[in-house]
Amino acid sequence: MVSGLPVILALLLQSPEAQAPAAQKPASEVLGADEARSSIQRSSRWLVSNQHPDGSWGAGAMDSVQFTGFSIETYYDFQLAANGLAFCALAALEETPERRAALDKSLAWMLATRMPKRGNDWDVDCTWPAVYGLQAMVVAARDPRFAKPELKAKIEARGMEFYALLEHNQEPKGGWGYYEGPAVSKRPTWSTSFTTSAGLLAVLGAEKLGWKVNPKVEERAVRYIDECKLPNGAYQYDHSPVPWVGGESINDVKGSLGRMQVGNLALRRAGDKTITDERIRKALGDFFNEHKFLDVGRMRPIPHEAYYFVAAYFYFFGHAYCGQVINELPEAEREAWHQKLRAHVVKVQWKDGSSIDFPNMSCMQIAGTAFSILALQAGVAGKSPL
């Protein structure tokens, strides 16, 4: 453990000036597309300049005081998931020579790196790289820049490896999680609505490409998310026959802000007719009206310590999928929603171009920066990158 102290101290002692957000803007302010493009430029420069020579980002090792005591595999799982997101983010942007070089190196690393594994009996964080590894391969397979037959075959093969890990770890109720439940078994027994929603989106993308995914996997995931859906528009954190509601509950709308958008997006793309434009509008309205609960939770070092048990890492995850679900509405409505979203993404961007919501973890800085690009690019490009 002593050998890790210099890394931890370096992270904790980074210059406040370097880490400070860009000029703060009131939460009520709306931003136009030009400011979004400027933010994206800063974020993409940070990603390109912080990529390792082998094409990866971050460290597959303990570099956080928050996650001491986890298995060594967990840190690699986090790194690989963040790299999948970084690839998706760069792939969504207009090509420049620097971005293209970074994108090519990233894909090469994703195709060559080893597959993730379960950390131990209770740690199933390998779900995250399975989700975002599969999503990255879906994005790569759709991209005409990677259409050469040999490369396309490698992308599909790697994508199916990530899919196989997802299928293997789908728990009996149909969801995906990242820790084990009360019982410990080879097949996990606990899952969350938001992990399942993100996983379902990746599976739907693979299915649309014609990859050989098991339709039962999709059906079980859809059923799980639907059973987490509450009448007030919130989604349960995890599936419970009797939802924990009332008081300051994580299943209240205020505690569900980071989950509502991805849940609606996943069910909508799966063909659920109950996810109407009106339900999406209500969820977006709640997201912005109650946004202060995400603001308060961001950068808190202890998960779920904020009001309504909001965790810091809900922030950029929620904003990224908010950007995608806005584009499910009629085109004439989208820009007004994107203007609100931009203000909350750009206001917390650091001066170096990166973004983070859960402190001290390199993988969260990579993921936060990628999520911010995906959130903003959805409004600039007029289509959803994910």
Q: Cβ(224)–Cβ(175) under 8 Å?
A: yes
pLDDT 10s digits, 98-156: 999 999 999 999 999 999 999 898 899 999 999 999 999 999 999 999 999 999 999 99
Domains of the chain, by residue range, sit at 42-381
Give pLDDT, residue 182: 81
Kind and range of the H or E element at 366? Answer: helix 362-381
Orientation of helix 257-269 relative to helix 314-326, angle to 10°:
40
Give pLDDT, residue 1: 28
- How many angstroms from the chain centroid is the CA of residue 65? 22
Q: At 83, give phi and psi (nearest 5°).
A: -65, -35
Query: Helix, strand or coil for residue 385?
Result: coil
Give pLDDT, residue 245: 64
**Which residue type sits at 364?**
M
User: Hey, what are 373's tokens?
Assistant: 């690009």
CATH number listed for the domain at residues 42-381: 1.50.10.20
Give pLDDT, residue 24: 46
Q: At 274, give phi and psi (nearest 5°).
A: -75, -15
Q: At 234, give phi and psi (nearest 5°).
A: -80, 165
Q: Cβ(110)–Cβ(84) under 8 Å?
A: yes
Question: What is the torsional sign of CA 134, 370, 222, 268?
Answer: negative
Q: What is the pTM of this model?
A: 0.92
Give pLDDT, residue 41: 98
For 16-24, the CB contacts below 8 A with 24+ separation are 17/351, 18/350, 18/351, 18/352, 19/350, 19/351, 19/352, 20/350, 20/351, 21/347, 21/348, 21/349, 21/350, 21/351, 22/346, 22/347, 22/349, 22/350, 22/351, 24/347
The per-residue pLDDT string of the chain (386 residues; one tens digit each, 9 = 90 and over) reads: 223 333 333 333 343 334 555 444 454 489 999 999 999 999 999 999 999 999 999 987 777 776 677 788 999 999 999 999 999 999 999 999 999 999 999 999 999 999 999 989 889 999 999 999 999 999 999 999 999 999 999 999 999 999 999 999 999 999 999 998 888 888 999 999 999 999 999 999 999 999 999 999 999 999 999 999 999 999 999 998 777 766 689 999 999 999 999 999 999 999 999 999 999 999 999 999 999 999 999 999 989 999 999 999 999 999 999 999 999 999 999 999 999 999 999 999 999 999 999 987 889 999 999 999 999 999 999 889 99
Give pLDDT, residue 345: 98
Give pLDDT, residue 8: 33
Find residue 350's DSSP bridge partners. 21
